[in-house]
Amino acid sequence: MMLQIKDLKVRYGNIEALHGLNFEIDRGEIVTLIGANGAGKTSTLLSLSRLAPPDAPTVFEGDILFDGESILKTEPHKLVEQKMMALVPEGRHIFGNLSVQENLDLATYAVKEDHQFVQETEDLVYNLFPRLKERQKQRSESLSGGEQQMLAVGRALMTGCKFIMLDEPSMGLAPVLMYEMFRALRELNKNGITILVVEQNAKVALDFATRGYVLDTGEIIASGSSDELRNNKDVQKAYLGG
């Protein structure tokens, strides 16, 4: 197992947001975490990325193991430096007043020495999202929502991490763009990138992922392969519209 989450409990101030999550992700998988608003999806991702309290919840119980080692004490920038995991945050968080190219360059902060890797990954990103190539010199603020999302994914790739976590990649995207995004992600997965995707749009997420967990008010209420979840009566009722 690449990533193991054991009995993870987190809180914001005094409010407990996750009440003991258990799940695991293996190399090369596409796993989805679905759930309604406030179920704790983003909290899970933020605690995995180890961001510090004002931005993320505090883990007070449980453990996060990456390749068998606890990363609870690892700082977020170290996670990226050691090429463990990259986060594509909700709302994209791209550097708005930098150009597309500059955004990608900034993501190579930790791997800068490795010119060959940077060049190869840059080519990969531009092949995957030809639109970004067209907009290379443009201020990233002026990109459309879909393009910004592509940039956020591209930026995560540039860090050299083989495990990418995406927070609501479909948010605010037109269906066409959304499918294009998932097609690109699937292609990345074929190249050996492990993906954890958090989604509110359960239908799309289950079509995309091979396995999933259903989150409700800070607990996992169902898990299994995408097909199993799709046929699960409770999940259907709650998230797939009966």
- Positions that interact with another protein (CB under 8 A): 49, 51-55, 75-78, 80-81, 86-87, 89, 93-98, 106-107, 109-110, 112, 115, 155, 159
Comparing CB distances to another protein, the nearer of 7 and 55 is 55
CB atoms under 10 Å from CB of 192, counted, come to 9
Structure tokens given for 82: 């050691």
Comparing CB distances to another protein, the nearer of 37 and 97 is 97
Comparing CB distances to another protein, the nearer of 28 and 76 is 76
Please, where are the H alpha helices in 11-166? 41-48, 76-81, 100-107, 115-128, 130-134, 145-158
Cβ 224 to another protein shortest distance, Å: 30
Cβ 106 to another protein shortest distance, Å: 6
Letter string b/e over residues 133-154, b meaning 16 or more CB atoms within 10 A of that residue's CB: eebeeeebeebeebbbbbbbbb
Q: Which helix (H) or strand (E) holds 11?
A: strand 3-12
CA distance 93 to 77: 16
Cβ 137 to another protein shortest distance, Å: 13
CA distance 54 to 187: 35
Cβ 80 to another protein shortest distance, Å: 4
DSSP string, 70-87: E-TTS-HHHHHHTT--EE
Comparing CB distances to another protein, the nearer of 7 and 75 is 75
Cβ 215 to another protein shortest distance, Å: 22
Structure tokens given for 180: 């294009």
Comparing CB distances to another protein, the nearer of 31 and 158 is 158
Cβ 111 to another protein shortest distance, Å: 8
Comparing CB distances to another protein, the nearer of 81 and 228 is 81
Q: Are 49 and 87 in contact (CB under 8 A)?
A: yes
Cβ 159 to another protein shortest distance, Å: 6
Comparing CB distances to another protein, the nearer of 54 and 175 is 54
List Cα–Cα distances, 208 to 5, 87, 176, 194, 214, in angstroms: 22, 18, 15, 13, 15
